[in-house]
Amino acid sequence: MSRIITIANQKGGVGKTTTAVNLAASLAAAERSTLLIDVDPQGNAGSAVGVGRDDVESSVYDVLLDARPIDEVVQKTELKFLGLVPSSRHLVGAELELAGAERREYRLREALSDVAGKYEYVIIDCPPSLGLLTLNALVASQGVIVPLQCEYYALEGLADILRTIDLVRDGSNAELALDGILLTMYAANNLAAQVEKEIRTHFPDRVYKTVIPRNVRLSESPSHGKPILLYDVASKGCQSYLEFAREVEKRQRRVA
């Protein structure tokens, strides 16, 4: 059985894509067979592993709208154990196209049931909204990881995604769990330390021990089409995502 994890937060620029890409790559580097699914029309996750939105003929759009089997759209990446289901610019209209469709929020879940045994981890990168694309990801998943920047109002933004997770759990997917909150782009200053303390107090046991520091190598690697571990393995950013992947695996073993 795969562990299917969505990386979600309705805010943009909080480190969703960076986390999805580098968690998936770190798991794959540990020889866990991993599938990264990009449901953001912007296609940043795909390009960060070297597959541009325009390089592919079929995408997650075909899976969601035309019932194309996932196997037929998986692209290889530079990492042997990492496959990618790419995004497409057609996804921009998918929210509207899906709106009137039957079983509109179950499309991804149903497609993934065909490949359930094939991957140890499926990691889904979401757009910065809580629309039908994110909903499809949440309904298909067992766990959600919420990346969060330690800034003012961080807790307020968190409330929206937590409410959405509760709604999905009460409606379409009873097994959905908040796997954890990941502090990203951490800058060592007083404000960050204060917000971190507040979040850890509010959500004891739900905030990962690993904190991702602000690290320029992490922001450079996507423009080279590489996850950080193929770009600068010695960097703090890379080491922190490798550590994070170990923490995810450890928690996974505890619940399994």
Binding site for ligand ADP (CB under 6 A): 12-18, 44, 128, 184-185, 212, 214-215, 218-219, 222, 237
Q: How far is the CB of 44 from ligand ADP (least distance, A)?
A: 6
Give, in degrees to the nearest 5, the angle at Cα 125 between 139 and 63. Answer: 60
Q: Which of residues 36-65 bind Mg ion (CB under 5 A)?
A: 44
Q: How far is the CB of 15 from Mg ion (least distance, A)?
A: 8
Neighbour order of strands in the sheet with 143-149: 75-76, 82-85, 34-38, 121-125, 3-7, 143-149, 177-186, 207-213
**Contact call for residue 18 and Mg ion (CB under 5 A):** no
Q: How far is the CB of 68 from ligand ADP (least distance, A)?
A: 25
Give whichever of 44 and 47 is closer to Mg ion, judged by the CB atom: 44
Q: How far is the CB of 79 from ligand ADP (least distance, A)?
A: 19
Give whichever of 150 and 168 is closer to ligand ADP, judged by the CB atom: 150
Q: What's the CA gap between 55 and 135, in Å, rounded?
A: 26
Q: What's the CA gap between 193 and 150, in Å, rounded?
A: 8
**Contact call for residue 3 and Mg ion (CB under 5 A):** no
In whole angstroms, how far apart are CA 51 and each of 16, 21, 85, 222, 225?
Answer: 18, 12, 10, 11, 7
Give whichever of 83 and 227 is closer to ligand ADP, judged by the CB atom: 227
List the structure tokens of 73.
């759209």
